[in-house]
A and B are shown apart, each in its own frame.
Chain A
Amino acid sequence: MDLRVPEQEKAFRDEVRTFLEESLTPEIREAGRMVTSVFAPVKEAMAWQRILNDKGWAAPQWPKEFGGTGWSVTQRAIFAEELVRAETPPLVPMGLHMCGPCLIGCGTEEQQKEYLPKILSGEHFWCQGYSEPGSGSDLASLKTFAEKDGDDYILNGTKIWTTYAHYANKMFALVRTNRDDKPQQGITFLLLDMDLPGITIEPIVGLDEVPEQCQVFFDNVRVPQKNRVGEENDGWTVAKYLLTFERGGQEYAPGLNVMLEKIRLMAEKQQTAFGPLTKDPVWQHKFAALEADVLALEFTEMRIKSALSAGKDPGALSSMSKILGTELLQNVTELRIETLGSQSVIWQPQALVPGQEQPVIGPEYALTAMPHYLNSRACSIYGGSNEVQRGIIAKAVLGL
């Protein structure tokens, strides 16, 4: 065991840094700074994806034959860290991190040929149609029904919380094709176009006053059966396969380290009656506790990655990293609003839209603090709530 960094990895880091410096436009950088959730402003995030794709770097985690980079696990980690350090806007994950890997693992060759290049290029913008009004944590109870009719399915029902459905032109969805069996056994995984007749999309306004999620309604929507991934009634297997990508392999520590460093710089600017806030023992204590947690998480994530690269299934470890990553993110955003006091109470969502000329009221570094704090509350709800994740650990790891 050691932590030495081989020379060629240092050279790789330099290569990535040079590329980022040369290719990030001011607009994309601004969008990166304006991020207040796991999602970045869409237009700039897609522009950034196109630049990365031209370089062949849009999906390093994909196998090389499908458009991945063929990098080692360490190289991928370095790349991810450098993206975070340069404050690039995160790429929209539904295609690159969810649907793509899922098609690579479970799709037909025809589906792979049709969809994967367009996921990379951004031509297809995907959304995830899983949750329904009555089926959140209990996803397997979903009711949207797909009735067989000739070569098609006819869909009726509704999906909710569908992130970016109002931008998407494609959806991957879980639908019910059999009402008689155990709930998990009657579900099918479908790919569909968002402009099909019978689909309506209603955006849902969030706490930050921005519509990020949507409710999507299906009224006799016709989807060809060839758009099915996996077997009919076997969509749960496909969804579980996808889930390992949605939850696992995500790294929180690099981003948290960058956020902590920014908070320290902000705290240096805040004067108490006894000097800068960074000299205040209460603040120091809170900050150090978070630093310790993030360092621990960094190594927990490395352990998961090394298990992955040795070909082991990280299993319930991905539940652990989801709990830790999301809750530490929440704690870090909380320390940020606490560091800023009333400056984070000023509310100016209009100033978060990139390219706005309107001057920011108060210190510019305070602008995203409150929306980020509020939005990060969602991280312990989506992707399987943290209660559900703890349940998985209790059952699968502790045998309870």
Chain B
Amino acid sequence: MNFQLSEEQQMLADSAKRFVRDNSDVEKHRQNKKLMPLDAATWQQFADLGWLAVPFEEAHGGLGMGPLETMVLLEALGEGLIMAPYIATVVLGGGFLRQASAAQRAETIPALLEGKLQVAFAAEEYERVFTLENTAMAADLKGSEVVLNGTKSCVMNGDQADLLVVLARTVGQPGDQDGLSLFLVDANAPGVERVAHRTVDGRQGAEIRFNQVKVSEAARIGELNGGYAIARDVLHEGLLALSAESVGSLSVLLNETVEYSKTRQQFGMPIGKFQVLQFRMADMFIAMEQTRSLLLAATLKTVEGHADAAKAVHAMKAQLGRAGRKIAQEAIQIHGGMGMTDELGVGHYVKRVTGVDGLFGNADVHLMAMARSA
């Protein structure tokens, strides 16, 4: 057992930390009160730093790294509340594209690596509690073509994406793992209608409506009706990345709260001297460390292919929801009125952490998935 970063991982961590020191997005969170175009300059910087290449094989022009390196990078980005849609395009999008046909890969991965392609995973649906198998949107077979009809909700980066990875049901009922298929759909294809929206965490997404959208066989990822296993593996890498990013954000919430409590004076002393607040900050610290432990557990088990890796991922996303809620709520409470303002960074981190719990199944959903996967 060894929890030390390799030399390569340390370099990645250092470069990410340097970036975050110079580029915190807290101010951007505060200023963006309407829909914004993609910050192309930052994205180009990501490409130049080699970050877009992290999870791709060297044969595809990538760096041949995996979830551990993604974890190291994302944790640092989370500390700076960096909004660039890395998880949507590189982790989820890239994860699916790696599973795509040789022709699809050749068409998309080089562009992605250059920073010229944005991707989004269209998975969630309105009024359906998210799990992959609960997907209902229909894809009907018409000869060799497939026709998509229905609506995907809260597609992160869906407003900016050039390419959509759509999870749809080709046979069976919601609840069945069999019968799900994955399709690559041009975001500007006829019949695709997008309603862009902001999300609570300062990011953006879209409702995406599919109206008789025709997709050729060549645009499918994996087997017909056999999309579940691919979707699960890619989603789990996405959840690992989301958790790593959130651990970075949670550590900032903890540190800023502790620092604030040392300087804010009431009743002639720093509020950090009140034992009731000390104990709650101690609990925040414990919750933070437990989350970090599960992040390591889930990431290492996934990388090494342990049989209980999926269970650990569910445990981690559940912990993220629960610890995130607790840390966020305490951070506001201990900041008093200041914690409720748009002015302080704390509120923006709170909003991100709160939003993250709602995405791809909240704590309850993942605890239930964990119970069922036992």
In the complex, the answer to whether A385 meets B265 with C-beta atoms within 8 Å is no
11 new A-B contacts at CB < 8 Å, known A137-B336, A205-B341 = A138-B267, A206-B342, A207-B342, A270-B129, A337-B358, A346-B199, A348-B197, A374-B200, A375-B340, A381-B333, A381-B340
Kindly report which residue of chain B lies nearest to residue A277, judged by CB atoms. Answer: B129
The one of B131, B133, B337, B347 in contact with A131, judged by C-beta atoms closer than 8 angstroms, is B337
The one of A280, A342, A380 in contact with B154, judged by C-beta atoms closer than 8 angstroms, is A342
Q: How far is the CA of A341 from the CA of B368 in the complex (A)?
A: 15
In the complex, the answer to whether B341 meets A204 with C-beta atoms within 8 Å is yes
Q: Which A residues are CB-close (under 8 A) to B199?
A: 345-347
Given contacts A274-B175, A341-B361, A342-B124, contact A348 B154 (CB under 8 A): no
Q: Which A residues are CB-close (under 8 A) to B343?
A: 204-205
Least Cβ–Cβ distance between A117 and chain B, in angstroms? 33
The one of B268, B277, B325, B362 in contact with A341, judged by C-beta atoms closer than 8 angstroms, is B362
**Interface residue ranges of B141-193 to A (CB < 8 Å):** 153-154, 174-175
Q: How far is the CA of A271 from the CA of B354 in the complex (A)?
A: 22
Given contacts A270-B129, A343-B153, A345-B359, contact A207 B175 (CB under 8 A): no
Least Cβ–Cβ distance between A134 and chain B, in angstroms? 7
**Interface residue ranges of B312-361 to A (CB < 8 Å):** 325, 329, 332-333, 336-337, 339-343, 347, 350-351, 354-355, 358-361
Q: How far is the CA of A378 from the CA of B33 in the complex (A)?
A: 22
Size class of the B contact interface (CB-based, 8 Å): 35 or more
Q: How far is the CA of A282 from the CA of B367 in the complex (A)?
A: 10
Q: How far is the CA of A204 from the CA of B344 in the complex (A)?
A: 11
In the complex, the answer to whether B355 meets A345 with C-beta atoms within 8 Å is yes
In the complex, the answer to whether B339 meets A377 with C-beta atoms within 8 Å is yes
Q: Which B residues are CB-close (under 8 A) to A361?
A: 195, 197, 207
B interface footprint on A134-151 (CB within 8 Å = 1, 0 otherwise): 111110010000000000
Q: Is A344 an interface residue (CB 8 A)?
A: yes
Q: Enumerate 12 A-B pairs (CB-CB under 8 Å) in ascending A order.
A: A135-B266, A206-B340, A207-B351, A209-B342, A271-B134, A271-B136, A271-B174, A280-B368, A282-B367, A344-B200, A346-B199, A381-B332
Q: How far is the CA of A68 from the CA of B268 in the complex (A)?
A: 43
The one of B205, B340, B350, B364 in contact with A378, judged by C-beta atoms closer than 8 angstroms, is B340
In the complex, the answer to whether A373 meets B207 with C-beta atoms within 8 Å is no
Least Cβ–Cβ distance between B220 and chain A, in angstroms? 23
**Interface residue ranges of A205-219 to B (CB < 8 Å):** 205-207, 209, 213
Size class of the A contact interface (CB-based, 8 Å): 35 or more
Residue positions of A touching B, CB distance < 8 A: 131, 134-138, 141, 160-161, 204-207, 209, 213, 269-274, 277, 280, 282-283, 286, 330, 334, 337-338, 340-348, 361-363, 370, 373-375, 377-378, 380-382, 385-387, 390
Q: Which B residues are CB-close (under 8 A) to A161?
A: 337
Q: Is B126 an interface residue (CB 8 A)?
A: yes
Given contacts A348-B198, A377-B340, A381-B333, contact A134 B359 (CB under 8 A): no
Q: How far is the CA of A338 from the CA of B325 in the complex (A)?
A: 11
Between A160, A269, A343, A345, the greatest number of chain B beta carbons within 10 A of the residue's beta carbon is seen for A345
Q: How far is the CA of A370 from the CA of B198 in the complex (A)?
A: 13
Q: How far is the CA of A206 from the CA of B347 in the complex (A)?
A: 9
Q: How far is the CA of A136 from the CA of B334 in the complex (A)?
A: 12
Q: Is B274 an interface residue (CB 8 A)?
A: yes
A interface footprint on B198-211 (CB within 8 Å = 1, 0 otherwise): 11110001010000
Least Cβ–Cβ distance between A182 and chain B, in angstroms? 13
